[in-house]
C-alpha cells in the first residue's frame, strides 16, 4: 500500500480550524489534538503497527523486528500554535507513515524495531513550555512543575493528561526508552526560505538555534478609565508597550539575534479599566547561548527602568531554555549520503529532535515551503514536495534499519 502524503494530510485538513484567527489551533489534549491522535491510531492500525501511549503521553506506532533494541524512530508533533499552519508537526507524522509504506513495499524494514512517534505539547501553546513531552522524557523539566503548569482557563497539565486517560503521576524521565533508541529523524516543513532560494525540495538539518522563553510581569495600579486623571495613573499597559518596542530595538542591535513578543495579556483586560498588571511573553534566540543570556539581561534592565518611568515595576522569570543544538555528525552524514546533493540547513525553529539530541543520535529533514512563512495560515507544502519528503525519509531510514 503506497499512500501519498497529500492524501493523508487531506484527511485531517478540517481538524482544529480556527475561524477567528485563521489557520489551525490544535492545542495539546483539546478535542482537535485528540482527534489527530485518533487519526494517528487509525493510520497505525491500517498498517498493523502497535500503538502505545507512554507515560508522558507520547504516541508510538511500533513495527517490531528481530532485535529488541536499537529502534529507529521518526515522527514529530500534532499540536499547533494558535492560528498555525497545516504542516508544522503533522507533515512529519504523515510522511512517516508514507515512508513506512515505502520501506515495507521495498522489503527494507531491516532488523531493527521501527516506530513513528508523536510528541505532546511541542509548541507549548497551551501550557507555556515548548517540547514538554520530550523535555519530560529526557528529564529536562521537573515532573511536578509540568503537572502544575496551567492553561488560560486554569486547567493544569495533570488534569488535561488525566482527562485523556494518561495518569499524570507517572510523567517523568524515561531513560530505558531513550537507551532503546538508536536514532530519531524528524521531518519538518521548512520554516523559512532556504529551500526556495536553493530550488530544492528537501534539505538535511544540521543545527537548531538556541532559544528561550521568559515572562515579564509589569505591575501598576488598576483603576477606572473615566475617573482617573492621566497624571494620576500607574498604567502597566503603557509600560508594556514601551518594553515591546525596547525588545525590538535591543535585538536589532545584536547581530543574528531574534527577539519577539507574540503574546501580551492585560489583567483584568477591560476596555474601561486601567490594567493592574500586564503579562508580556518574550521569545529570544541566538546561535550563542551566552549572547542570548546577555541580551535577555539587557531587556530585563530596560524593562525595569521603563516600568519605573510609569510608576510601575517589571519582573522577569525564565519559562524554558534550549541551548543551540548541533545534530549528531555521523547521523547527519548518513542522511546526506542517502540524499546526494541535498543542501544542509540550520533552523531557527525549535523541535523535539533538538531536545532528544542530547540523549539519542538525532537528525532532521526539511521540506520546501514555497511561502517561507510558518506559525501562520500561509504555511504551505506543494503535493510533489510532500511526497518527495516521504521518499527522502524512506531513503534515509533504510540504512539505519539495517543492523
Ligand atoms: O517555537 C518553535 O521554534 C517551534 O515551532 N516550537
Ligand atoms: Mn512550530
Ligand atoms: Mn514544529
Ligand atoms: Mn518540532
Strands (E), 150-251: 181-189, 202-208, 210-219, 223-224
Ligand 1 site, residue 354, Cβ cutoff 6 A? no
Grid coordinates 533552523 are at which residue? 347
Cα radius of gyration rounded to whole Å, the chain = 22
Residue with cell 534539505: 203
Q: Is 375 annotated as a binding residue?
A: yes
Asked whether 357 lines ligand 1 (CB < 6 A), one says no
Q: Average pLDDT in the 333-354 region?
A: 97
Torsion of CA 55, 58, 59, 65, to 10 degrees: -80
Cell 495579556 belongs to residue: 265
* Across 252-273, average pLDDT: 97
Ligand 1 atom at minimum distance from 130 CA? 6
Q: What are phi and psi of 213, to 5 degrees?
A: -130, 135
Q: For residue 310, say whether it is annotated as part of any ligand binding site.
A: no
Residues measured by CB to lie within 5 Å of ligand 4, the ion: 122, 351
**Residues 138-181 pLDDT 10s:** 999 999 999 999 999 999 999 999 999 999 999 999 999 999 99
What pLDDT digit, counting tens, does each position of 116-126 carry?
A: 999 999 999 99
Task: Tell whether ligand 1 has an atom less than 6 A from the beta carbon of residue 394.
Answer: no
User: Which numeric CATH code is attached to 211-322?
Assistant: 3.30.70.360
CATH 3.30.70.360 in the chain, residue ranges: 211-322
The CATH code that applies to domain 5-209+324-402 is 3.40.630.10
pLDDT at 403: 76
pLDDT at 69 (0 to 100): 78
* Average pLDDT of the chain to the nearest whole number: 97
Q: Is the pLDDT of residue 13 over 90?
A: yes
Would you state the cell numbers that stand for residue 26, as one nine-digit string? 490544535
Instruction: Specify the pLDDT at position 66.
Output: 65
- pLDDT band (50, 70, 90) for residue 199: very high
Backbone angles phi, psi at 280, to 5 degrees: -125, 120
Cell of residue 337, nine digits: 549520503
88 in a labelled binding site: yes
Q: Which long-range contacts (CB under 8 A, 24 or more apart) does 13-21 make?
A: 13/86, 15/39, 16/80, 18/82, 18/83, 21/82, 21/83
For 32-83, write each residue's pLDDT tens digit.
Answer: 999 999 999 999 999 999 999 999 999 999 998 766 779 999 999 999 999 9
Question: Which residue is listed with cell 533538538?
Answer: 354
Residue to mutate, 127, 351, 379, ligand 1, most ligand atoms under 8 Å from C-beta: 351
Tell me if 188 is assigned to a ligand binding site.
yes
Model confidence at 333: pLDDT above 90: yes
Q: Give the position, in ligand 1's atom list, of the atom nearest the Cα of 348.
A: 3
Select from 349, 353, 374 the residue to mutate for testing ligand 1; criterion: most ligand atoms less than 8 Å from CB: 349
Mean pLDDT of 83-110: 97
The pLDDT of residue 302 is above 90: yes
Region(s) of the chain under CATH 3.40.630.10: 5-209+324-402
Amino acid at each position: 500500500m503506497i499512500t501519498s502524503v497529500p492524501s493523508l494530510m487531506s484527511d485531517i485538513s478540517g481538524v482544529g480550524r480556527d475561524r477567528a484567527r485563521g489557520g489551525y489551533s490544535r492545542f495539546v489534549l483539546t478535542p482537535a489534538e485528540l482527534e489527530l491522535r485518533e487519526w494517528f491510531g487509525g493510520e497505525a492500525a491500517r498498517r498493523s503497527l502497535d500503538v502505545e501511549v507512554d507515560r508522558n503521553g507520547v504516541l508510538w506506532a511500533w513495527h517490531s523486528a528481530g532485535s529488541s533494541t536499537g529502534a529507529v524512530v521518526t515522527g514529530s508533533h500534532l499540536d499547533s500554535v494558535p492560528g498555525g499552519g497545516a504542516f508544522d508537526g503533522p507533515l512529519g507524522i504523515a510522511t512517516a507513515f508514507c515512508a513506512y509504506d515505502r520501506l515495507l513495499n521495498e522489503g527494507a524494514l531491516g532488523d531493527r524495531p521501527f516506530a513513528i512517534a508523536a510528541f505532546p505539547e511541542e509548541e507549548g501553546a497551551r501550557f507555556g513550555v515548548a517540547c514538554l513531552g520530550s523535555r519530560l522524557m529526557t528529564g529536562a523539566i521537573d515532573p511536578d512543575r509540568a503537572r502544575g503548569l496551567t492553561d488560560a482557563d486554569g486547567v493544569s497539565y495533570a488534569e488535561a493528561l488525566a482527562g485523556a486517560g494518561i495518569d499524570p503521576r507517572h510523567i517523568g524521565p524515561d531513560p530505558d526508552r531513550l537507551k532503546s533508541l538508536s536514532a530519531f529523524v524528524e521531518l519538518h516543513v521548512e520554516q523559512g526560505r532556504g529551500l526556495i532560494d536553493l530550488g530544492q525540495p528537501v534539505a538535511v538539518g544540521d543545527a537548531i538555534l538556541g532559544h528561550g522563553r521568559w515572562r515579564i510581569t509589569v505591575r501598576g495600579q488598576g483603576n477606572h478609565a473615566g475617573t482617573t486623571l492621566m497624571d494620576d495613573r500607574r498604567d502597566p499597559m503603557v509600560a508594556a508597550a514601551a518594553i515591546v518596542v525596547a525588545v525590538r530595538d535591543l535585538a536589532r542591535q545584536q547581530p543574528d539575534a531574534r527577539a519577539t513578543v507574540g503574546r501580551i495579556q492585560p489583567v483584568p483586560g477591560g476596555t474601561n479599566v486601567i490594567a493592574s498588571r500586564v503579562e508580556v511573553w518574550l521569545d529570544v534566540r541566538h546561535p550563542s547561548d551566552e549572547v542570548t543570556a546577555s541580551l535577555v539581561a539587557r531587556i530585563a534592565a530596560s524593562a525595569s527602568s521603563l516600568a519605573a518611568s510609569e510608576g510601575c515595576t517589571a519582573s522577569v522569570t525564565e519559562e524554558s531554555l534550549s541551548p543551540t543544538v548541533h545534530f549528531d555528525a555521523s547521523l547527519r552524514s548518513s542522511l546526506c549520503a542517502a540524499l546526494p546533493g541535498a543542501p544542509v540547513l540550520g533552523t531557527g525553529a525549535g523541535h523535539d529532535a533538538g531536545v532528544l539530541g542530547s540523549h539519542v543520535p538525532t537528525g532532521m529533514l526539511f521540506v520546501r515551503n514555497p511561502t517561507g512563512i510558518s506559525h501562520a495560515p500561509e504555511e504551505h507544502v506543494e503535493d510533489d514536495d510532500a511526497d518527495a519528503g516521504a521518499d527522502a525519509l524512506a531513503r534515509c531510514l533504510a540504512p539505519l534499519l539495517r543492523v
